[in-house]
Amino acid sequence: MLNRRQMLQRTAAGLAAGALTGCHTDTAAMIPGRMVDSGMDLGHRLRGSALRGTALPTPDERRRARVVVAGGGIAGLAACHALHCAGVRDVLLIDALAQAGGNSSFGENAVSAYPWGAHYVPLVRADCLPVLELFEELKIIVDRDSNGRPVYDELFLSADPQERLWIYGRWEAGLLPELGSSLEDRAQFARFSAETERLKTVRGDDGKPLFAIPIDDSSADPQWRALDRLRFTDYLHSQGYTSARLHWYVNYCCRDDYGSLASEVSAWAGLHYFCARTGIAANADPGTVVTWPEGNGYLARALLQRASPTLQLRSLVTRIARAGAGVEVDYFDAATARSVRVTADRAVVCLPRFVAAHVVEAGPGLLTPTAVDFSYAPWMVANLTLSQMPGGPGQALAWDNVIYDSELLGYVVATHQSLAQRQRDTVITYYWPLTEHDPATSRTLAAKRPLSEWQNTVAADLLRVHPELRGRIENMDVRVWGHAMIRPTPGFIWGDARRDALQQQPPVFFAHSDMSGISIFEEAYCRGRHAGQLAASALA
């Protein structure tokens, strides 16, 4: 006869085996899907050409453009838009991928459009004029009320319920855990929330807000900037925040916005997330955000349509150099496998710093940027087509659905803004910042990981809380962004490396959200718009 230990072991082993084999073989074998290109292969040819001598072909074709914009993320698109508004035509936009948009690119299938990265913008701060103007131009802000507060198009405001959290086998409204939180936990939630609310209104000794968007509008008060040299977790401990649940929440927010752990980012950056979003609307509560089925792809598409630059996609910028009063930009076109040299009056470099460092050629009046101290977080994004809406006990399906203590960030529902009464199919987007190792190691491991392993991880996380979705995952595409976002590590935002990176070098102008130290739409847009305007005025 079995003794109880054997029995328990067998039961546990049997359950584990059943759970693992059941779900893993199921999912891996049965879910169709593909790895979506995020430019890593093409990008590595750039590194390869320098390191391993697998040289890209030398340019044997020439063309001309008034302005070249290198890099078609939000910064690049904003630059094109600003150039277009300034009356500059003949703008050539070069991007490595098949679709412009960078982190704001998107996909679409028979069920819905869906994001491949950034998927919302918070209500815009009253002092963030460039983005306010853009949102008015795009009719996202449709009016102002008698107090001057913006009225947003309600179809773009994240519909209720906005967020829910899975904890102890059921869904709760909001992201702060309720069930099982002690009085001490709750007291610390309340204190943290009150403190961050207070800091939203505090101004530094120069009269500027402590935490602004764009980030460079923040106060230079040294007392507060000193927080940039502190790790966020050290700051929290120094303020007496000990609740494991509060730390979970704060860490979740850092992973979500910075792709990094709370212990890896600066206290200034951590607080910026909680204290800089002061936007209000006449017709929405302050925590509401602006979103679309395709996420910020909506904004990327709108900018592209308005700016209508000449597009050179699937092309790798290989060299940017001064040539007389103007510039020369070489690119390798993956479609034709040929290199082309563009002569232009101006160039706007909207590439991340670590790429710019490879392609900008030093010469008279032009320094090669350095990417030292610039650290980037790798991410995985998966889009799952489901033939059944996710359900679950407790709070009804929300836009953002988070699982407590999961390594993954949870999922966003692309059809959440739909007005239809009954939906049976949907697309959900799963996000996973790869924080287990240092970014370089995570990146290397991620590059080797096959589709089936990504699918297994995501499916296991989903089916753990949604057993009803077993067999309902119709498709799962996966995308790995090797350098998804800049990491605001301690000392970076107010340090020398970023300050040096802000130097413009006419006729070459630089714009990218990594120059801000945080990767958000507003930063990329403001930098791109500013660089585009500088380039346009330099032409005039």
Binding stretches for other proteins (CB under 8 A) = 1-4, 7-8, 11-12, 15, 19, 154-155, 157-162, 169-170, 283-285, 288, 393-396, 418-422, 424, 467-468, 470
Name the 3-class secondary structure at 150. Answer: strand
Instruction: Give the CA distances from residue 164 to residues 173, 189, 401, 404, 441, in Å, rounded to whole numbers and listed in that order.
Output: 5, 17, 5, 10, 32
Per-residue DSSP letter, 360? B
Closest to other proteins by CB, 168 vs 444, is 168
Alpha helices for 88-154 (secondary structure H): 129-137
* In the complex, minimum distance from the CB of residue 160 to other proteins, in angstroms, rounded to a whole number: 4
Closest to other proteins by CB, 1 vs 29, is 1
Closest to other proteins by CB, 18 vs 48, is 18
Contact, 275 vs 200, CB < 8 A? yes
Contact, 249 vs 174, CB < 8 A? no
CA geometry: angle at 535 spanning 533 and 537, to 5°? 70
Name the 3-class secondary structure at 349. Answer: strand
Closest to other proteins by CB, 77 vs 463, is 463
* In the complex, minimum distance from the CB of residue 155 to other proteins, in angstroms, rounded to a whole number: 7
* In the complex, minimum distance from the CB of residue 157 to other proteins, in angstroms, rounded to a whole number: 4
**Is the torsion defined by CA of 117, 119, 122, 128 positive or negative?**
positive
If one counts every other C-beta atom within 10 angstroms of the C-beta of residue 19, the result is: 13
* In the complex, minimum distance from the CB of residue 263 to other proteins, in angstroms, rounded to a whole number: 31
Contact, 82 vs 532, CB < 8 A? yes
280: left (phi over 0), alpha (psi -120 to 50) or beta: beta
* In the complex, minimum distance from the CB of residue 191 to other proteins, in angstroms, rounded to a whole number: 26
Instruction: Give the CA distances from residue 56 to residues 51, 68, 311, 313, 458, in Å, rounded to whole numbers and listed in that order.
Output: 12, 20, 21, 17, 37
Closest to other proteins by CB, 304 vs 413, is 413
Closest to other proteins by CB, 141 vs 210, is 141
Closest to other proteins by CB, 38 vs 158, is 158
Per-residue DSSP letter, 240? T
Closest to other proteins by CB, 152 vs 189, is 152
* In the complex, minimum distance from the CB of residue 140 to other proteins, in angstroms, rounded to a whole number: 14
* In the complex, minimum distance from the CB of residue 279 to other proteins, in angstroms, rounded to a whole number: 14
Residue 75's closest CA among 536, 482, 519? Answer: 519
* In the complex, minimum distance from the CB of residue 123 to other proteins, in angstroms, rounded to a whole number: 11
